[in-house]
Amino acid sequence: MSQPILQVVIPAYGESPYLKETLESAVKNLSRTVKIVVLEDPSDNKNIAEIVKNFSDRVEYQINPTRLGIAGNFNKAIEISQAKFTLICGSDDLILGDLSHELENLEADSYAAVTSKNEIIDARGSKIAPLPDIVKKLIAPKFKKPQAYKNRKFFNYLMLGDWMYFPSIAWNTEILRKEKFSDQFHTAMDLDIFVRLIEKNYKIYHFPVTKFAYRRHQQSASSIYANETGRFKEELSCHKYALQVASAKHWRLSRLLAQLAITVRLHGILKAISWALKFKFKPARELMAISLIRLTSPRLEI
C-alpha cells in the first residue's frame, strides 16, 4: 500500500471551545484518504475527548501520557504522522479545502514544506482584516502560479516579516522528524524552523490557493503571548540567528534585513506606546528597550 500524501493532526489542550467547528470543517472538506488525528496534551479539562467522540467514524483521538508543551506536541504530531506531508492545524482554525489534491502532483521528496494561503476570521467565524494581517499580506510574495521559492528571496521576505500562518503549511514528515520544532519558542517556531531549513538548503514550495482560515481571538495562545515581551524577544532571537546564516552564505541584503528586523521592531514600538497609554509603564519601557536592542546583545538569549 502506497504512503498517503497528507495527514492532518490537530494539537489540542484545555477547554478548546472551537474544536467542534475545526473538526466539522475538516470532515466536510477533506477526502477520506486524508487521516485526521486530534492529539491532546493532557490537562484537567476532559471535554476534548468528548468532542472527538462525535466524530469517531472519521477522526482518531490520541492523548500524550504527560504534558509536552507546544513544541513537544507539534513534534509528536510529526512523529505519529503516516503521510508524506503533515499539516498541523490549530484547534481553533478551519479547513476550507483539501490541499492533498495539489500535493499529489508535487515531487514530495524535493520540498521540506509547502505553503498556501488562508483567510482570517474572528471568534464568530466572520472574515476580518486587522492591521497585523494587512501588513502580512503586503509583505507576502505575490505568486499567481504554483512554484518553488528561490531560497534567498524567501529568506529576504521572511526577514521583512513573517507573513505565514501555521495551519496553511504542510510539512515534509521525514524532514521535520530530523529537524524538529524548537522548545525554546512559543510563537516564533515557524520563523525559527524556516531559517534553519534555508540554512541547510532545503526547498520550499507554494500553492496560491486558499484552503484554511486562521482564527484570531483573545483566548488563543498567540494572542495571550502577544501581550508579553517574550514574543518580541523570540522573534529578534530568530533574526539574530538569521543574521549568522546570511553572513555565512554571503547574502548582503539578507544580512541587512535580518539586522533591521523592521516589522518586529515597529510592532514592538507600537505595542510599547499602547501599553504606556494604558499606564503599563514598566512593561512598556522593557518592550521599547527590546525593540531597539542590537541583535548582538546577550539579552536576546532565550
pLDDT tens digits for range 197-230: 999 999 999 999 999 999 997 765 555 555 678 8
Model confidence at 276, pLDDT cuts 50, 70, 90, reads: very high
Which pLDDT value is given to residue 234? 93
Examine the pLDDT at 165 and tell me if it is beyond 70. Answer: yes
* Beta bridge mates, 214: 120
Band of pLDDT at residue 245, cut at 50, 70 and 90: very high
CB atoms within 10 A of CB 127: 9
Residue 291 has pLDDT above 80, yes or no: yes
Please give the share of the chain, as a percent, with pLDDT higher than 70. Answer: 96
pLDDT for position 222: 57
- Long-range pairs, 237-240, Cβ under 8 A, ≥24: 237/184, 237/188, 237/300, 237/301, 237/302, 238/185, 238/188, 238/191, 238/192, 238/195, 239/159, 239/264, 239/295, 240/295, 240/296, 240/300
Q: Is the distance from CB of 237 to CB of 300 less than 8 angstroms?
A: yes
What pLDDT score was predicted for residue 190?
94
57-105 pLDDT, tens digit per residue, is: 999 999 999 999 999 999 999 999 999 999 999 999 999 999 999 999 8
Write down the mean pLDDT value for the chain: 93
What pLDDT does 269 receive? 96
Mean pLDDT of 155-173: 94
**Is the pLDDT at 111 greater than 90, yes or no?**
yes
Pair type for strands 204-215 and 147-148: antiparallel
Rounded mean pLDDT, 192-197: 98
Q: Where are any strands of DSSP class E within the chain?
A: 6-13, 35-41, 59-63, 85-88, 94-95, 113-121, 147-148, 169-172, 204-215
Q: What is the pLDDT of residue 93?
A: 96
| Residue 24 confidence (pLDDT) above 60 | yes
Residue type, 126: S
pLDDT of residue 227: 61
Percent of the chain at pLDDT exceeding 90: 85
Give me the pLDDT at residue 224, please.
53
Question: What mean pLDDT do residues 129-133 have?
Answer: 91
Average pLDDT over residues 239-256: 97
180-208 mean pLDDT? 95
Helix (H, G, I), strand (E, B) or coil at 8: strand
Mean pLDDT of 127-149: 93
pLDDT at 55 over 60: yes
Residue 226, pLDDT score: 58
Residue 142 has pLDDT above 80, yes or no: yes
* Residue 302 pLDDT greater than 80, yes or no: no
Q: Which of 185, 139, 155 is nearest to 256 (CA)?
A: 155
